[in-house]
């Protein structure tokens, strides 16, 4: 992956401050979307003045791009770890678990990504059609191999991946709705445990080889 930074960080302060800004930007962008987020608000969250922030990132878009590039990298990590060598059912169960843990531990990242896609991915379309598609294509071949070998049930690998994405990310992206529907009794921990149990059962039942 190629990262183009408007200002290549050179000094200690630049490295620290850029990190501080990206952390603040993640907070603000994921809450308000690209248009709803203001430079002033990001600067305030990062504890600096607007002109100061603009010294590190010349444009609002630059902050957003830097954030999206970094985000997508960690975002695809669970899928990258889906390994051809291991036991298929174990591998897929592990993938679902890791993906759900990402929703639990990085909800801001999930919402930011969802927001971008929802708007038509105007800023990261190349990454989606490039890096992401390549990775999915690769893993689809792995899954298809497992199916041919009779290790898991035959089904559509693409839609299997979509379903795993959809169900796991739902708990981050629609968190407000999930909490409202479940009521106040369930804490976050219990919610995610129940979800993990349910999803594991759902997908394992769907993937167990039939004969």
- The residues that touch its own copies, with contacts defined as CB under 8 A, are 31-36, 111, 114-115, 117-121, 125, 128-129, 132-133, 136, 153, 155-156, 158-160, 162-163, 165-167, 169-171, 173-174, 176-178, 180-183, 194-195, 197-199, 201-203, 205-206
Q: Of these partners, its own copies, DNA, none, which one is at the site of residue 50 (CB under 5 to 8 Å by kind)? A: DNA
CA 135 and chain centroid, separation: 14
Q: How far apart are CA 147 and CA 156, in angstroms?
A: 10
User: Is the Cα torsion angle 65, 71, 75, 80 positive or negative in sign?
Assistant: positive
3-class secondary structure, 161: helix
Q: Which of 65, 98, 93 is nearest to 80 (CA)?
A: 98
Q: Of these partners, DNA, its own copies, none, which one is at the site of residue 123 (CB under 5 to 8 Å by kind)? A: none
Binding to DNA (CB under 7 A): which residues in 3-42? 10-14, 17, 37-40
Q: Which is nearer to DNA, 17 or 170 (CB)?
A: 17
**Helix H or strand E segment including 118:** helix 107-118
Q: Of these partners, DNA, its own copies, none, which one is at the site of residue 167 (CB under 5 to 8 Å by kind)? A: its own copies
Q: Least separation, in Å, of the C-beta of 194 and its own copies?
A: 6
Q: How far apart are CA 45 and CA 83, in angstroms?
A: 40
CB count within 10 Å of CB 160 equals: 20
Contacts to DNA by CB under 7 A:
10-14, 17, 37-40, 48-52, 54-55, 58-61
């Amino acid at each position: 992956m190629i990262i183009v930074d408007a200002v290549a960080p050179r000094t200690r302060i630049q490295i620290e401050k850029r990190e501080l800004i990206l952390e603040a930007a993640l907070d603000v962008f994921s809450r308000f979307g690209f248009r709803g987020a203001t430079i002033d608000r990001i600067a305030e969250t990062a504890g600096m003045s607007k002109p100061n922030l603009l010294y590190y990132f010349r444009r609002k878009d630059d902050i957003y791009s830097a954030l999206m590039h970094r985000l997508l990298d960690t975002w695809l990590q669970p899928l990258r770890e889906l390994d051809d060598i291991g036991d298929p059912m174990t591998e897929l169960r592990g993938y679902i678990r890791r993906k759900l843990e990402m929703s639990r531990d990085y909800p801001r990242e999930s919402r930011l990504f969802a927001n971008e896609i929802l708007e038509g991915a105007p800023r990261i379309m190349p990454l989606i059609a490039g890096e992401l598609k390549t990775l999915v294509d690769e893993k689809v071949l792995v899954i298809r191999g497992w199916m041919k070998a009779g290790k898991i049930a035959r089904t559509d690998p693409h839609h299997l991946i979509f379903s795993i994405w959809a169900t796991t990310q739902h708990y981050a992206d629609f968190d407000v709705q999930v909490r409202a529907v479940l009521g106040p009794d369930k804490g976050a921990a219990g919610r995610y445990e129940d979800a993990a149990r349910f999803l594991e059962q759902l997908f394992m039942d769907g993937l167990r080889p039939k004969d």
